[in-house]
Chains A and B, each alone.
Chain A
Amino acid sequence: MKCAPFEYVRAGSVAEAVTVLRDTDGEGKILAGGQSLVPILALRMARPAVLVDVNRIPDLDGVARNDGSVRIGALTRHSALVAQTEHPLLAEAARWIGHAAIRTRGTAGGSIAHADPAAELPAVAVGCGATVHVAGPAGERSVPATELFVGALMTGLGEDEMITGLDLPVPARWGFAEFARRHGDFALVTAVVAEIEGEIRVTVGGAAPVPVRASRAEAVLAAGGPAAEAGRAAAEDLRPTGDLHGSADYRRAIAGEMVRRALAQAGVGTGAN
């Protein structure tokens, strides 16, 4: 349970971090909160030659309101996401991330880059239609969250790129529901409901390799259908795989119920709108 040796570089700036990454020819890894990376290293599932520690880069954390969205610095810790009040959906979702000693270290950028299918922040990013800001040796680019996640633990980030932050639209109404076997564990299923610019977006995490929009559920709601029917439509659309935490059918049933609960929390599909 000890990591293989690596060279440690403490980056002083984003430019330095991506330059070091470029020079390692794919053998480098960003070390942010380390709450996912360090277990992977300890289990020797990865053996990067160089770790680029970005924790001391100035001005890379914080949550700031910017018109209809919040800008979240990549180094913002989950505990700060819980504490902020600008984006209530984000605060609620972040409460569900890991445990206290994980939230103090884990970062927003790290969670997005790690792209665990069951993680909360990728689901919220897709659910709210976030824009992810990425720096590389050639400069900066912005990627919609819906395009960033390409598979389980896989993103469209280049080996010499790092996330610097994201813009997360603030929903007018929102709901968040998660089912995990124990508080703090990764979710079996997460449901995110967000009303962005008049559109109700329903997103399910944990039931596919990436967070997915439940388009049929959204269509049910757009036609004035009730939350329960939208939940059923969401469940029918999913093709989850079963594992020791739950069979495919069980996950699908839980997903439908989580969507229903998130809609109820948002006050959507209750017949009152």
Chain B
Amino acid sequence: MDVTVSVNGEQHRLDIEPRRTLADALREDLGLTGTHLGCEHGVCGACTVLVDGEPARACLMFAVQADGCSVTTVEGLAGDDGTLHPVQEAFVAHHGLQCGFCTPGMLISALHLLETDPDPSRETIRAEMSGNICRCTGYTGIVDAVEAASSTMRDASRPPDRP
């Protein structure tokens, strides 16, 4: 089946079997292996991507359902020159990743959280990130990172003070 999908701003046309999940299409057909697959049945959150700006589990969506949609994966976070996104910077600075397997899903979930709630409490961060499982159990570092990223992103979006 023909599918046209925009991934990280780039248009792709794929001829795809209906049962292929969006996660498999991203990884196998487009070579975007940043999206990780842990459980493949919607429990672990590792494959979370943005579909038309909303977080979705790429293992619970068939690629044919993304026809005409705009998908953002972890590869789309950094700038064209390789500059890390503030959320990525914060994960590095605050030990928000250990083995790194859950990180792509964590980053996407954190990004969506901070876009909808620029100043979340630690409790909110824990609740909103609860759909992403970290097997290294590095949650404290992850919550620290999201909290730090929220502060950086708020500062960046604040208009400069008048002299």
Which A residues lie at the B interface, using CB under 8 A?
1-8, 10, 31, 34-35, 38-39, 42-43, 51, 53, 55, 79, 98-102, 104-105, 182-184
Contacts and interface: CB of A to CB of B under 8 A. Distances in A.
Interface stretch (B4-12, B53-61, B83-91, B140-148): B53-61
A79 B131 CA distance: 15
Given A98-B131, A104-B54, A8 B109 contact: no
Given A1-B40, A182-B130, A100 B60 contact: no
Contacts of A99: 45, 128, 130-132
B56 A42 contact: no
B41 A2 contact: no
B77 interface: no
Interface residues of B, number: 31
A6 B42 contact: no
B131 A42 contact: no
B131 A3 contact: no
Contacts of A34: 60-62, 65
Given A1-B40, A34-B61, A51-B18, A101 B130 contact: no
Contacts, number: 84
Interface of B: 1, 17-19, 21, 24, 39-43, 45, 48, 54-57, 59-62, 64-65, 109, 112-113, 127-128, 130-132
Contacts of B41: 1, 38-39, 42-43
Given A4-B19, A38-B60, A100 B131 contact: yes
Given A39-B42, A182-B130, A101 B109 contact: yes
A102 B57 contact: yes
7 contacts: A2-B24, A5-B17, A42-B40, A100-B55, A101-B48, A105-B61, A184-B127
A101 B45 contact: yes
Contacts of B45: 99, 101
Nearest to B128: A100
Nearest to B131: A99
A4 B18 CA distance: 10
A187 to B, nearest CB: 14
